[in-house]
C-alpha cells in the first residue's frame, strides 16, 4: 500500500472537522414557530397570529377563500362577498370587480391562497394583513360564541385572553359552589326542584338535606353560569309554588283534558295547550304581567304560603 502523504493527511483532517461541524449543526433545535405572547409584541416584531377550529380536526383542513354575506362597514354594513386572492389589496367583492370580471386574471389571483388549519390550528404571519382581514371578517369566525358551532367555525386565539377568561370562569365556579354550600336549606330545595335534580337516590330513598345540598353544589360546579343566572331568580320561586300546588293536589289538571282549575271548585285557572307541560305553562302564566297572570300568582301565594 502506498504511503499517505502529508497533504493527503491534511485533507482528511479537514474533512473530519467539517463532518463534526455538520453533525453539531444538525443537533441544533430550530424553533418551528414564532408564536409570541401579546405582551411581547412590538411594532417591529413579526409573529404568528393563531386561529383555532372550534371542533378540532386531525390532519389538514382547508377553508374556502371566499365567504358570503359579510357586513362591510365601509358600505354601511351591507352584506358582501369577501375573497382571499393573490396580488390584490382588498378582500371586498366591490373593490375586486376589475379582477373578477377577467377570468384569466381571476384564476391567476386565486391560485396559491390556501387557508390551512393543521391539527386544528392556522398560523398567519402578522405581516399578512390581507389574510388577517379575511379571517377576522369571515362569518365562520365565532369569537367567544363557541357552543353549538359547525365544523367550519373557528376563532382567533389569544393566549393571554384565554387564560384570563379561564381564570374568571374558575372564580365564578368557586363562588357559586360557595353560595350553594351556605344558602338556607329551603332555598336549596327550590333550586334542586327547578334544575330537575332528583329528591331520591337510585334506590328510591329520599335524600337528606345535606344530600340535596351536595347535589346542588355538584350542579353549580358543572353548570356555574346556569346556576348564577337563576340563584336569585323570581322564576325559581314561582316554579316551586306551582310544582307544590300540583303535587299537593291544590291544582286539579282534570285528568289531562287541558283544563287547570283550583281544587274544590274554587275556579278556573287556564286552558293548557296540548303541546305544553302543565307545570311549565302555569309557571309562565304566573310570571306574565297580564291580569290573568297576576290573579293566578296572587291566589297561588295565598294557598301555598
CA-nearest of 117, 116, 111 to 55 is 117
According to DSSP, the residues that pair with 154 across neighbouring strands are 53, 141
How confident is the model at residue 263, as a pLDDT?
Answer: 83
Cβ atoms of 227 and 176 closer than 8 Å: yes
pLDDT at 46: 84
CA distances from 249 to 200, 255, 260, 295 (A): 21, 12, 11, 19
> pLDDT value at position 300?
85
DSSP-assigned beta bridge partners for residue 121 = 52, 118
d(CA 246, CA 53): 47
Best CA proximity match to 49, nearest among 110, 125, 134, 154: 125
Question: Which residue shows C-alpha cell 300540583?
Answer: 246
pTM of the model as a whole: 0.56
Burial 69-86 (b: 16+ CB within 10 A, else e): ebebeeeeeeebbbbbbe
Q: What is the pLDDT of residue 215?
A: 95
Model pLDDT, residue 148: 66
pLDDT at 137: 94
Chain centroid offset of residue 215 CA: 25
> What integer pLDDT is reported at residue 251 of this predicted model?
86
Helix or strand holding residue 51 (H, E)? strand 48-53
**pLDDT digit string, tens, across residues 143-177:** 888 776 688 899 999 888 888 888 998 999 999 99
Alpha-carbon distance of 83 to 66, in angstroms, equals 4
- Strands 121-125, 154-157: pairing is unpaired
Low-confidence ranges of the chain (pLDDT < 70): 1-44, 111-112, 148-149, 255-256, 305
**Residues 278, 260 contacting (CB under 8 angstroms):** yes
Phi-psi bin for 150: left (phi > 0), alpha (psi -120 to 50), beta?
A: beta
pLDDT score recorded for residue 74? 86
CA 175/CA 188 separation, integer angstroms: 16
Alpha-carbon Rg of the chain, whole angstroms? Answer: 33
What pLDDT sits at residue 29? 40
Q: Which helix (H) or strand (E) holds 22?
A: helix 6-27
Contacts of 202 (CB under 8 A, 6+ apart): none
Residue 77: helix, strand or coil by DSSP?
A: coil
Q: Which pLDDT does position 303 carry in this prediction? A: 79
Amino acid at each position: 500500500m502506498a504511503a499517505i502523504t502529508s497533504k493527503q493527511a491534511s485533507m482528511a483532517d479537514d474533512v473530519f472537522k467539517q463532518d463534526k461541524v455538520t453533525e453539531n449543526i444538525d443537533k441544533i433545535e430550530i424553533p418551528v414557530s414564532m408564536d409570541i405572547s401579546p405582551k411581547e409584541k412590538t411594532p417591529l416584531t413579526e409573529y404568528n397570529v393563531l386561529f383555532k377550529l372550534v371542533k378540532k380536526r386531525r390532519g389538514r383542513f382547508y377553508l374556502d377563500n371566499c365567504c358570503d354575506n359579510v357586513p362591510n362597514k365601509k358600505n354601511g354594513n351591507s352584506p358582501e362577498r369577501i375573497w382571499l386572492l393573490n396580488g390584490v389589496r382588498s378582500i371586498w367583492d366591490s373593490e375586486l370587480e376589475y379582477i373578477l370580471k377577467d377570468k384569466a386574471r381571476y384564476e391567476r389571483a386565486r391560485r396559491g391562497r390556501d387557508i390551512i388549519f393543521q391539527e386544528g390550528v392556522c398560523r398567519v404571519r402578522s405581516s399578512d394583513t390581507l389574510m388577517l382581514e379575511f379571517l377576522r371578517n369571515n362569518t365562520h369566525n365565532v369569537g367567544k360564541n363557541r357552543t353549538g358551532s359547525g365544523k367550519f367555525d373557528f376563532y382567533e386565539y389569544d393566549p393571554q385572553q384565554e387564560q384570563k377568561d379561564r381564570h374568571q370562569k374558575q372564580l365564578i365556579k368557586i363562588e357559586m359552589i360557595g353560595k350553594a354550600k351556605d344558602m338556607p336549606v329551603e332555598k336549596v330545595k327550590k333550586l334542586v326542584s327547578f334544575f330537575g335534580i332528583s329528591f331520591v337516590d337510585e334506590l328510591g330513598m329520599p335524600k337528606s338535606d345535606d344530600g340535596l345540598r351536595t347535589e346542588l353544589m355538584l350542579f353549580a360546579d358543572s353548570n356555574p353560569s346556569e346556576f348564577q343566572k337563576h340563584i336569585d331568580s323570581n322564576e325559581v320561586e314561582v316554579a316551586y309554588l306551582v310544582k307544590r300546588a300540583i303535587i299537593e293536589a291544590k291544582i286539579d289538571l282534570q285528568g289531562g283534558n287541558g283544563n287547570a282549575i283550583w281544587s274544590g271548585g274554587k275556579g278556573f285557572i287556564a286552558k293548557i295547550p296540548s303541546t305544553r307541560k302543565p307545570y311549565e305553562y302555569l309557571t309562565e302564566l304566573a310570571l306574565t304581567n297580564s291580569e290573568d297572570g297576576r290573579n293566578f300568582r296572587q291566589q297561588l301565594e295565598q294557598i301555598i304560603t
